[in-house]
Structure formats: C-alpha cells, structure tokens
Amino acid sequence: MAKFFLNNILALVLLVVPGILVAQSATEGAERIIEVDVPAPSLSGNLLGTQGVQSAAIYLPPSYNNQPGHRFPVMYLLHGIFDDYGVWVENFEVPTILDRMISNGELPEMIVVMPNGGNKYGGGYYRNSPVSGNWADYIASDLVEYVDENWRTLSNPESRAVVGHSMGGYGALNLAMNKPGVFSVVWALSPCCLAPKQDLSLGNDAWRRAADIKEPGDIQNLLEDRDFYPIAILGIVTAFNPDPDAEPIYGDFPFDIIQGEIVLDSEAFDTFVDEFPVRQVRDARGALRDLRGLGMGVGLGDQFLHIPTGTMEFSQRLGAERVPHQLDVYVGDHRQLVADRLEHVVFPWIAERLVFSE
Amino acid sequence: MAKFFLNNILALVLLVVPGILVAQSATEGAERIIEVDVPAPSLSGNLLGTQGVQSAAIYLPPSYNNQPGHRFPVMYLLHGIFDDYGVWVENFEVPTILDRMISNGELPEMIVVMPNGGNKYGGGYYRNSPVSGNWADYIASDLVEYVDENWRTLSNPESRAVVGHSMGGYGALNLAMNKPGVFSVVWALSPCCLAPKQDLSLGNDAWRRAADIKEPGDIQNLLEDRDFYPIAILGIVTAFNPDPDAEPIYGDFPFDIIQGEIVLDSEAFDTFVDEFPVRQVRDARGALRDLRGLGMGVGLGDQFLHIPTGTMEFSQRLGAERVPHQLDVYVGDHRQLVADRLEHVVFPWIAERLVFSE
Amino acid sequence: MAKFFLNNILALVLLVVPGILVAQSATEGAERIIEVDVPAPSLSGNLLGTQGVQSAAIYLPPSYNNQPGHRFPVMYLLHGIFDDYGVWVENFEVPTILDRMISNGELPEMIVVMPNGGNKYGGGYYRNSPVSGNWADYIASDLVEYVDENWRTLSNPESRAVVGHSMGGYGALNLAMNKPGVFSVVWALSPCCLAPKQDLSLGNDAWRRAADIKEPGDIQNLLEDRDFYPIAILGIVTAFNPDPDAEPIYGDFPFDIIQGEIVLDSEAFDTFVDEFPVRQVRDARGALRDLRGLGMGVGLGDQFLHIPTGTMEFSQRLGAERVPHQLDVYVGDHRQLVADRLEHVVFPWIAERLVFSE
Amino acid sequence: MAKFFLNNILALVLLVVPGILVAQSATEGAERIIEVDVPAPSLSGNLLGTQGVQSAAIYLPPSYNNQPGHRFPVMYLLHGIFDDYGVWVENFEVPTILDRMISNGELPEMIVVMPNGGNKYGGGYYRNSPVSGNWADYIASDLVEYVDENWRTLSNPESRAVVGHSMGGYGALNLAMNKPGVFSVVWALSPCCLAPKQDLSLGNDAWRRAADIKEPGDIQNLLEDRDFYPIAILGIVTAFNPDPDAEPIYGDFPFDIIQGEIVLDSEAFDTFVDEFPVRQVRDARGALRDLRGLGMGVGLGDQFLHIPTGTMEFSQRLGAERVPHQLDVYVGDHRQLVADRLEHVVFPWIAERLVFSE
C-alpha cells in the first residue's frame, strides 16, 4: 500500500520504449532498464478492465551483454497498491543500489524483473480471481515463462527469488504458499494483508462506507476523491472474495449492514478470513519448509497499523509450524527504510541463498 | 455501546419523582422503581459540563417494606454508552425479571441500584479523569455510600455485586481491578473496551476523523450528525487519555496525522494501550483472585467487533494469571440476549456467590 | 487421569451382576445401578488384549419403571485413565446427586450411562486406533446402539449428552469433533490432552524413559512399579500414534534419542501434534457450532499441569473459530471439585440444553 | 545448555598461564588467547562454593599490539551451562573465525572477552542470587571494569556488545533488560530459559525428582550420575528462586508434592514465573528499545524443546511492546550451527551496530 498520491512518476522520467534498452551506456542502473510488454493471458476475462498485456521493467546486470553464454538467476520485485514498477526504480532506487553493490563486489550479478500489478482499485494482490484476474498465474506462469524465454536466465526455482513490498509483500508470501515450486527465496517488506486486523479489520468504519456502494457512480466518486480505505477495500473484496454476479462491486462483503450496524454473516466470514495468510500457514507448511529462504521485515511505525502486528503474527504461526524464517523488526515506517533494507539486508541475504550456476 | 438512537425512554414513560416511590402497589417490578438524585462530588470540576448530581434508579425487593429489620445485599447495574438506567428498566426488563424470579423462589431478595453514567460523548467509562470526571470514585464511593446510608443494605463487599453492559461491562471489570475491596462479585455483559482491537483499534478510520477536530464547532457537528464512532472516540480519549490543556477535545491522541497518515507517537501509545484491561490483568491479579465471582459473557455476532475478541483475550489473560472466572460465549449480538442471560445465567450465578446475611 | 492408585473400588462394594438391577429398592441412587456387558465389536483386533465385551453401569431415573411408555434422554459419562465407571459411582457420587436433584425438582429425569474405557496403559482415550482398538466407534456406535435398543431412550442427538473427566473429557470433545451427529450437548471436566504442553510436552523427561523401552519386560517393569508418566505415555502413543508393526510398544515416538538427547523427527512430529484438539478446532468448527451446548471446566490447581493451560488454549481456539461455549475456571485440583461441579454447574446446564420429549 | 559431558577441553589443550599471552605469534586465533583471573567480589558470600576469582579468556585483535594508541570495542561472549569459555575457543572456533574475518576485511577489529560462568549445578545464569552469587553484577560491573582498566577498550555502552549461547543467551537478554546502560548490542544464540515451557515446564517429571532431595548426599548422587535435568533444575532454583535458609538446596520449589503429585503454591508460583524474560519484556521495554541492536537465533531442532518455543514467544512479546529486533529461525539443533551463525550472521550484524571510534 503505497502512499495514495504517489504514482506513475517513472512514465514521466524515462523515455520508456517497450522492449528497447533505454540507456545502455549509462553508469546509473536506473538508466539501464528495459521496459517490456508481457502477454498476460491469465488476466483475460477480468471484470475490472485490466489490460491483457502488462508492462514490466527488467534490470540486466552490468556484464549481461559481455558474457553471451552466461545465465543468471532472477529476482522478481512486486510493488504495492497504487504503485507500479516505478516505485522500485525511482523511489527505492533499486537499479542504482544493484549497480553499486555489484560494482563493489557485494552482490553477484542477477537479473531483476519488476512487473506491474495495478488495477483501478490499486491492484489485484497477485491473487487469482475471476473478477480482478488471475494475477498469481500471471506472475508464476506468464511472466516467468516470458522472462525465461527471452533472457538468459537460470530457469529453475533454486535460482529464482521473489521480493515484495506492501501488497507485493503479501503477493510474495502468497505465491510461496499457494504456487509452490516457482520461487525458492522469498522476502516480504512491510507486507500487507497477512491478517485482517486493525485498519484491515472489518471494524474499520471504512468497510461500512464501502458496503454503502449501490451503483457504479458511487465507485466513481470514491475514485475521484482518492478516498484510500474504501477503494482499497474494493480491491480486497474483488481479490479475496470475488463474486462476478454481484454488481457493481463484483465482490461480497462478509457481513450485512442492519440499521447501520455490522452483522457478520458467519459462513461468509469463514470464507473471507480463511483466505488470509496467518490462517494458511499450516496447510502450506510443506511448501514453506521447502524454501531456501523466507524472510520478512517491518517497521514498527508503519502507517498501515495491521502490517506490523500481522507480520509478527505470521512469524509466530511460521514458528508454530516449524518453518525456518527471518524476521526483521525495526524503527521505521511503511516506506522510509525500504531502500536501506534492500541494500543492507535483503539483497545480500537473497544472494547467499540463490543458486548462481547451473 | 447501545444503539445510538436508543435513549431516554424511561423519562417519558414513568412519572419520575426523585426519591419517591413511583408505583408502590404495582405488581410489575418495572413500576416499583425509585428514582433518586445522588450527590456526585467526585464529578466536580469535570470539563464536559456533567452535572454534580446524578440520577439513579433503585429496585427494592418485594418484601423490603415488610421486613423493617432486614438488610439486603446490593447489586449495581452499569449501563452502556448513549444509554441511561432506562436500558435496564425498559429494554432488559430487569425489574420484571427480578420480581418473577423472586416470586418463583429462583432468586433471593436483593436491592438493585442502576446509576446513570452518561455524558455528552456517551459516557465516562466509569473511570477517573480530570476531563470527564472521577466516575470510578462516583460509583465506588459516592454512590455506594449514599446507598448504604439510605437503604437497609448489607454494607460490605461480600454482599455487593456489580454487573455492567458494554461500557458498563468495562466499568465493572475496571472497578474490580482498580477499586479493589468494594465489590466482590462481578459480571460483564458484552463488555466494551477490554482491548484496542478491530473497531476500537487505531486502525479504524474514524480515529482520523476524530483527530481532524480543530474547534468546538466540529464537535457540535459530529454530535448533531450522531456520527457514532468519532463521538465514541472523543469519549474514549477524554476518559482514557485526558488532557485538560488540550482544547477543544481535552484529550490526546496517541498518534500524529502526517500527510493524511497515522504516525504513532511511541510514548503516548504506550500510555494509551496500557490503560486497557488486557494489559492490566497481571498487576491486578491479586485483586481479581480475591473476588468471590468473576464472569463475562459475549455474543459472537456483537456489532462492535472488538467486543468478542477483546472478551476472549481478557479471559485468556485471566487464565495466564490464574484468575478463576467464567466465560460464556454464545450466538447473539450486542443486546438481543442480554435480558435472557441476566435471568438464566447472571442473576442465579450472582445469588450463589453473594453473602445474604450479616 | 485419575490418581494412579485409585481403582476398582466398585467391584468390591457392589454385588455386581451384569444386566441385573443391583438394588432396586434402595433410596440411594448408588444402589440403583445396573451393570451391563456391552458387545464391543469395534475393539476387535486390538493388540493390547482388551476384551471385546465391555462393562458399563447404567443409572435409570426414579420413575423409569413407573412410566412404561415414557422415553428419556441419555447422558454418557466417560471416566479418566486408570479409572473405571466406579469413579462416577463412588468417588463423584453421581447416582446420589442425580437422585437428590431429581427428587428436589432441580433436574428432569434422564438415563445416565457410564461405560468403561480402560486398558493396560490406563485407557484408549476414546479414540480409534489399530493398536488400542476403535474406542470412538465403540462409544458412538456399539454402546449408543446397545443402549437405544435395550432401554427406553430418546434416540436422537438432541437428547444425547456426553460428559467426561480427564481422559474422558478429552474423549467427549474428541467425539464432538470427530463423530459429529451423535451427541449434541458436551461438557469436559478437567480434560486432559487438549494440547501437548507441560507434563504432556515431549519435554517431560518421562518421554525419554518411555522411549527407552526395548522389550516386553521393560513394559512389565513399568506396570509393576506403577510409574505413572511412562505408562500414560504408552497409552498416548498407542492411541494417538499407533503402529502395529512397532513391537513391543506398537506405537511411534515423534523423535529419536541420539546421545541421550531428544531429536525431533519433523514429519512424525507433524503427524503427532496434529492429533491434538487445539489443532483440530478449525476443521471441526462446523460440527462444534452445530452442538446445542459445549462447555468445559478446569481447576487452576490441577496436578496435571497441561490441563488448565490446554483447556484455556482450547477455549481460545473455539473463540477464534466463533464456536459458542462455556468456560469455567475455578480454584481446585484435578478431582476435588468434580462432584460439586457436576451438581451445581454441569447437570443443570445439560438439562437446559437437552431435548426431553420426542 | 551444552551437552552434559562436554567440558574443560581447553585446560588440557592450552598451556594456560593467567594473564600471559599464550601464543602471540600463532597465526591461529585459538592460540592468541589470553587467560586472566578476574576478581569477582560480586560472588562473595555465595553458598555453592564458587570461587571469588574467575577465569576468563580474552581475544585481542591482530593489530592490538601494533597500534598502541588505538582503542577497540569489546564483545563479551557468555557460555552455556556445564560449559566454560572453552566452548567458544574450541567448539565454536571463535578465535579462528575472528582472525579469518578480520584478515579478509569482513570484520573490523575488536576485543572479545569470554568469561566463565559455571558452578556445581552448571552455572549461575548470569543472575544475582544470594545463593549462587551475584553473577549479573560480576559481568556488568566486576568484569567490565576489569577489562576497561586493563585493556585499551572503548569504554562506553555504544562500543560494548554481549552475545550468549544457551544459558548465556538467557544471560545476555537478562543483562539487557535488568542491567541497562552497560551493553548496547545483544544477540542470543539458542537462548534457554526465556519461558518455563516444555522441558523447563514444571510438568517435566524431573522437577519431582529434584524436589525429592532431602539431604546433601542426594545432591551428590545426582552429580555423580550426571543426571542432567535434576541438576539443571537445582541451578535454576538457586538462581531464580534462591532461599539461603532452605537447606540443603538453598532454593524453593514453587509447588508442594502431595501424595506424589505436584500441587502448585500460588504465591510462590507467581514469584517464580515472573522471573522469566517473557514476563519481563513490558517493564523492560524502555531499556530494550534503547539498544542499538537486539537479536536472537534458534534452531527448530533444538534438543531443549523449550528453547525454540521460548525464543519465538519472546520475539512476539518484543513485538507487542514495539521493541525492534531480529529473529533468525533455522533448521539446526542446539549447537551444530552456532559457529556458522556467529560467522555469517552475528559478528557482521554486531559490527554494523557497534561504535568503533571514540
């Protein structure tokens, strides 16, 4: 969940030519980024108007072109809601950090792929949904296959990592649990949506406002007002509890509003809460234990209050199921230390765990 | 937390004459209620304009007047926010239930005292506060002394019970923990505010709306709109985190709003969360273990989502500190089964634990 | 888990004639008990030498013989390890209590069935096991059918309750979760084995002593020494983790002993811990919510330390899955208040929930 | 808690001359260790016969003698029970690792101090006790002052770290919580005794065997038999619940044994459990938040079963009190990955947080 007004800065800054190396000679990694159009058949039929071809940015390591026979491991970076891959390139300065670390010998060379995952409600949570599209399949199948076909990758799970921020942190963990055998090293930064608590709890009054929506115009008004929580809730509902027949939202709320008060629908509430990761650790423990690395970091001052508590509860559930993992709890907020953490914690940790040769 | 639009029905129904027996000959207990004006010196100096004399209703048992030398135990009933004692008399039909049970031999005779505890923000949570007034002292000292002086009570803790609903459930537990030695039997029905979770979490978007208040007119608007959560939050803040210097709210929020996002103030947050009962069980375990009875009941469908989870967490903390107690988790909402529970669970349970003779 | 040296007192006290009314004219319920031999085909093939016909005691209510056309609800009482039905009759004085309560009009008449559930290791935990026998099937099928065929019962779940103490408390909850549709009202007194904690944790040094067993003579020595924990652990292993091929114990330990230290076997440990009720609540939530009543009580001073903490954790899991229930936490130990609780809490509570007519 | 039979290997291997540089020219760090005798006035008056002068080993970094004006930060390493500083030198190969890392430029130079902390029951848990001696004061005052006076240290908390294994991991965390302002960077490896669970639970049958001790000869027998758990329990009792008047153990058990069963003594149990770190996080949160670094690591296959669960519960409590920290949960046992973790996780992490200049 990026700050709501943060947006497609990248599109303004770069001369983005899909599939074309933007600035090969630049010393700054930010300028050695390829933007590509990735076919996304997994998104076809979605009801939110999301395009069937999705942009992604690809970082090729400095010697990629000089070692034509060499294959590289791949790290995928998943952004947060209302973000796009620009958040990695511009805000968290990933290409600059990678170039510097590789140049200093602190990091071996790898390919880094930064897909987009947004839609009109902020994003599809990298989940499969008949309403928002099969985003998990898009990442784990469409995109991975596209990358492996078009670049010299080490195309096996041992050489494939996934890192996400906020919604993308959720996405990384969800892929690890529900798409086993694709990625073997996983880190979540400020991961949202691990447990329906605090601001993500149904007790957040914004759920009632979202549930008040009666017609398409109501949605339009929320979008125009950039009213964060109700819009994000529409994203949650269409991704976690989709219902193609429930116009205009195409998602179900796990409660009724009766005389202005929330009345839980017990069965729907079961279905809803069971989709959150803290309740899926047990069934996914086999897949999680098979990972080569699993880690997560969170700032105690995260503006999205469910994120620190959800992350710590997720860690506890991992421990209860004896899943090895790293937890990094620091002073900081939702975004401010992410670049620092990537450089000093996440990238070195991933490099230690990925396999760099065939 | 009563339904917001529920209100002073009692005042319209009864010819209320303070200190005068309303309808002595009535067979219905609802008509054998005395309304009294209780001096409340503990509330003096409050900044919310709450009166220094408070109304209360008193139920005298059927044979009170026929047994002039007999003394009775006393049960105090504490109502929820935006309620007054009318909720016991009218909605939960306490006098009718008491009369029937006493008449059937299911309950020994006792005096029942129903104070008011409301203010402009819904109520003072039966807590001491320089802003909302010292409501804990009012109940535990002013009111108890007034009752013991004016009626033939068994004036010792062993013969004194306290029962509360919603805010009053919180109040009953808070008095048990922080005013030890006054009440010895305690039951909380749908108790609010045991833990700052779900709708009571700072993640509830309504906190941001409450924190937007800049001037008295903003408060007035909320009150006129009967906008439940922001008003209730003002009540919480003035009772749990009062600050007589912080106009116009006279209370502090444990966070700042920076660029529209909540940023926790770590020290203020400590102070705030430490006031909630789930975090006070350990220090109060001695007082709680000394009780003759401690119980709580909650409906799984409570509209105020923090109430079931908070109650269950409170029970768990009691267990961890080895405090004997009863927990009753049932299908039902915030109010619908309260009268049923009073008759079939709470009153018989209290009667078994109170001492009925000197 | 009864005190180890407590035993078949009943056999010495009563002239027990299977199927014959022992003392029809006695005013004491303890003397109006029928002992019966119940065919137990579900136990056939067990490897512990447990008999295929099991004794049980049946309490018929005072007017059973005077109302030949009347049918009664049935309450089943399951005893703890190293006990037999004598614990109900002699120690907890159930027939005396029932007679008194029925006579005083405090309890409607019902049939009470007290099966035996013991074996050479203390008991089969009322679970199905190829080693200790299919005790769950014995209770839920063999015994219930036998009782319904031979006495005038209301033979439907709404009129059938199950109550257990210690191992039997576990058994009652396990039947509720894993044999849905047989009993509709369930109470567990001091229930053992809800979670593998404290004395039931693998950290109890007694597990190492049990794991030291190499040959049948080692088992015989433990039995002769009445060495409680290692024997009870054999019962746990044969009931929870049976292995007909693993002589002489016929059960597997979820760890290896290497150089005198416990080394967990991860997969075996999964299998083992997943059998405990705290980990089965989620999958059984549908069955548990369908009950007409579910309750449990525990003394804070229980000698078996895992029992209070396991019970409270089980309550918490029930709450997390929104399963209605009652929890009664009191000052007392494993046995001393059981008779008191049966009379003042459990029997009235069951009577309120059972259906007494067709 | 080291393996019981592991012991003073170092004394046999090195020609240990207190205060004298053992092998200045050796390329192996293991041979460039100084053994010193540290006055320990804090231990005077202990009732276990522990000496008032304690050995310690000191690692001086390679250029210590070549930079006579330079001051170095200090890292203290606290060993586990039944170990001495030899475990660091021989088993975990700390000097070799340090030399290699410093030589490779992976670690800046620092002084490393390895005190002894053992006694006849395995050790004093680095706690203050009138029975086992004031070990917390010995480390935080006697030893730190001795080191700062005799070597060129940066003598302030910002340049002082403490790392411990097993009992020493407990000790490091306990010093961080209860001796604030001495160490600023803290890491616990396989820390014991954070919570009284599993093998450390009172439910471990070994507590009953320890409680059976009646006379000094009983203790002697346990020691001769090297019966791990009862001896370790004597260490726990004399350190956590000492009682100089309670001969021959000089410590109190928080329960009575009645008819062979444990009966908790409620008040004594309070006192006992309140001493464990999971229950002290809240009161120590200020001190813990002030640290420059706090971390802990644990293997899921630790032979001492309370260690993984206690560590994860401690992490959770830290999170609940918003204390920044790192948690590293890995596949491994109590000792096997400690050397690997020191090299790849702990030492680099400490180096990033310590202040290396005045």
* DSSP assigned state of D260: T
Q: Which residues of B touch C349 (CB under 8 A)?
A: none
For residue C320, which of A201, A270, B200, A202 has the smallest C-alpha distance? Answer: A270
CA-nearest of A117, A207, A210 to A164 is A117
CATH 3.40.50.300 fits D12-195+277-353, yes or no: no
Q: Is A322 on the interface with C (CB under 8 A)?
A: yes
Classify residue B251 by its DSSP letter: B
Please report, as a single letter, which amino acid is at residue C49: G
pLDDT band at D88 (very low <50, low <70, confident <90, very high): very high
| pLDDT of amino acid D261 | 87
- Indicate yes or no: CB of B319 within 8 angstroms of CB of C308: yes
CA distance C165 to C169: 4
Average pLDDT over residues B211-229: 94
Q: What's the mean pLDDT in A71-85? A: 98
Instruction: Determine, for residues A331 and D316 on separate chains, whether the beta-carbon distance falls below 8 Å.
Output: no
Q: Please judge whether B199 and A199 are an interchain contact, meaning their C-beta atoms are less than 8 angstroms apart.
A: no
pLDDT digits (tens, 9 = 90+) for B309-336: 999 999 999 999 999 999 999 999 999 9
Q: How far apart are the first and last CA of chain A?
A: 37
Greatest Cα-to-Cα distance within chain D, rounded to the nearest angstrom = 69
Residue D23 has pLDDT above 70, yes or no: no
pLDDT at A30 (0 to 100): 54
Mean pLDDT in runs of 10 for chain C (358 residues)?
A: 36 34 44 91 98 98 94 98 97 96 96 98 98 98 98 98 98 98 98 97 94 94 94 97 96 92 89 97 98 98 97 98 98 96 97 95
The rounded distance, in Å, linking the Cα atoms of C271 and A64 is 48
Residue A56 φ/ψ, nearest 5 degrees: -150, 155
Query: Where are any strands of DSSP class E within B17-148?
Result: 20-21, 33-39, 53-59, 74-78, 111-115
Cα torsion for D54, D55, D57, D58, to the nearest 10°? 50
* Phi and psi angles of residue D96, each rounded to the nearest 5 degrees, phi first: -65, -45
- The pLDDT value recorded for residue C248 is 96
Cβ of residue B348 closer than 8 Å to a chain C Cβ = no
Using the predicted structure, report yes or no on whether residue B203 has a pLDDT greater than 70.
yes
Identify whether the C-beta of residue B52 lies closer than 8 Å to the C-beta of residue B40: yes
To the nearest whole Å, the CA of D327 is away from the closest chain A CA by 5
pLDDT of residue A6 exceeding 70: no
What pLDDT is stored for residue B252 in this prediction? 94
The answer to whether the CB atoms of B198 and A203 lie below 8 A apart is yes
What residues of D are in contact with residue C261 (Cβ under 8 Å)? 3, 303, 334
Instruction: Report the pLDDT averaged over residues B245-270.
Output: 92
Tell me how many helices (H) and strands (E) chain A has.
Answer: 14, 11
pLDDT in the model for residue A16: 32
User: What is the rounded CA–CA span in Å between residue C187 and residue C339?
Assistant: 14
Taking the Cβ of residue C49 and every Cβ of chain A, the question of whether any pair is shorter than 8 Å is answered with no
Q: A113: part of which helix (H) or strand (E)?
A: strand A111-115
Of A300, A325, A330, the CB nearest to D329: A325
Average pLDDT over residues B103-116: 97
Name the more confident of B347 and C257: B347
CA distance B293 to B325: 7
User: What residue in C sits closest to A264 (Cα-Cα)?
Assistant: C322
Instruction: Please tell me the distance from the alpha carbon of residue A314 to that of residue A296, in angstroms, as a whole number.
Output: 10
CA-nearest residue of chain A to D320? A309
Pairwise CB contact (< 8 Å): B322 & D285: no
**Measured between alpha carbons, how far is C188 from C183 in angstroms, rounded to an integer?**
13
Cis omega (within 30 of 0) on the bond before A108?
A: no
Q: Is the pLDDT of residue B3 over 80?
A: no
How do strand B74-78 and strand B33-39 relate by DSSP bridges? unpaired
Q: Are the C-beta atoms of C109 and C61 separated by less than 8 Å?
A: yes
Residue in A320, A330, A352 nearest the CB of D324? A330
**Length of chain D in residues, anyone?**
358
Give residue D292's pLDDT: 98
Is D315 in contact with A320 (Cβ distance < 8 A)? no
Contact B42, B121 (CB under 8 A): no
Average pLDDT, chain D: 91
Which residue of D lies nearest to C203 if distances are taken between CA atoms? D199
B117-136 average pLDDT score: 98
Please give the backbone phi and psi of residue C159, each rounded to the nearest 5 degrees, phi first.
-115, 25
Chain A environment of B198 (Cβ under 8 Å): 197-198, 201-203
Average pLDDT over residues A226-236: 95
The answer on pLDDT for A251 being more than 60 is yes
Q: Say how far apart CA C115 and CA C99 lie, in whole Å.
A: 20
Asked if D206 reaches chain C (Cβ–Cβ under 8 Å), the answer is: yes
The pLDDT confidence band at residue B31, using thresholds 50, 70 and 90, is low
Handedness of CA C78, C79, C80, C82 (dihedral sign): negative
What residue of D is the nearest CA neighbor of C209? D205
Sequence-distant (≥ 6) Cβ neighbours of residue B11 within 8 angstroms: B86
Tell me the mean pLDDT in the region A140-163: 98
For residue A227, give the amino acid letter.
D
Query: Which tokens in the block code for residue D83?
Result: 């170990």
Residue D20: its H or E element: strand D20-21
CA A72 – CA A254 distance, rounded (Å): 45
pLDDT band at A29 (very low <50, low <70, confident <90, very high): low
The crossing angle, in degrees rounded to 10, of helices B216-225 and B228-240 is 130
Distance CA B262, CA A1 (A): 14
The average pLDDT across A285-294 equals 98
pLDDT confidence of residue C283: 97
**H helical segments located in chain C:** 9-13, 86, 94-103, 135-137, 144-150, 167-178, 206-211, 216-225, 228-240, 266-273, 281-289, 306-320, 338-341, 347-353
Residues D266-271 have a mean pLDDT of 92
Residue of D nearest to B267 (CA): D286
Best B194, B292, B318, B329 member to test C by mutation, with max C CBs in 10 Å, is B329
Query: 3-state DSSP call for residue C58?
Result: strand
C205 contact D CB<8A? yes
The DSSP secondary structure of C180-193, one letter per residue, reads TTS-SEEEEES---
Instruction: Spell out which residues of chain A touch residue C279, defining contact as CB-CB under 8 Å.
Output: 282
Query: Is A257 at the interface with chain B, CB within 8 A?
Result: no
Q: Where in chain B is the domain with CATH 3.40.50.1820?
A: 12-195+277-353
Q: What is the pLDDT of residues B331-343, one digit of tens each?
A: 999 999 999 999 9
Given a cut of 80, whether residue A96 has pLDDT beyond it is yes
**For residue range D131-153, what is the model confidence (pLDDT) as tens digits?**
999 999 999 999 999 999 999 99
What is the token pair recorded at C201? 């944790």
Residue C266: list chain A partners with CB under 8 A.
289, 322
**Which 3 state secondary structure label does DSSP give A318?**
helix
Question: Would you say residue B9 has pLDDT above 80?
Answer: no
Two tokens at B328?
Answer: 């009753």
Q: Does A267 touch chain B (CB under 8 A)?
A: no
Nearest to B210 by CA among B255, B274, B240, B243: B255
CB B71 within 8 A of CB B151: no
Which whole number is the average pLDDT over B282-288?
Answer: 98
Contact A319 D330 (CB under 8 A): no
Distance CA A36, CA A19 (A): 4
Share of chain A above pLDDT 70, in %: 91
Residue A352 and residue A326 in contact, taking contact as beta carbons nearer than 8 Å: no
CA of C200: which chain D residue's CA is closest? D203
B287 touches chain D (CB under 8 A): no
Query: Does the CB of C329 have a partner CB in chain B at under 8 Å?
Result: yes
Rg of chain D in Å (alpha carbons): 20
Query: Does the pLDDT of residue B16 top 80, yes or no?
Result: no
CA dist C145 → C69, C84, C139 (Å): 19, 21, 9
| Closest partner CB to B262 (pick from A263, A266, A303) | A303
Does the pLDDT value for residue A248 go beyond 50? yes
Q: What is the pLDDT of residue C20?
A: 40
Say whether pLDDT at A25 is over 50: no
pLDDT confidence of A358, banded at 50, 70, 90? confident
Amino acid in position C27: T
Across the interface, of C203, C259, C303, the residue whose CB is closest to D262 is C303
Query: What interface predicted TM-score (ipTM) does this complex get?
Result: 0.91
Indicate the pLDDT class of residue D262, thresholds 50, 70 and 90: confident
Q: Where are the beta strands (DSSP E) in chain D?
A: 20-21, 33-39, 53-59, 74-78, 111-115, 160-165, 185-189, 255-258, 261-264, 293-299, 325-330
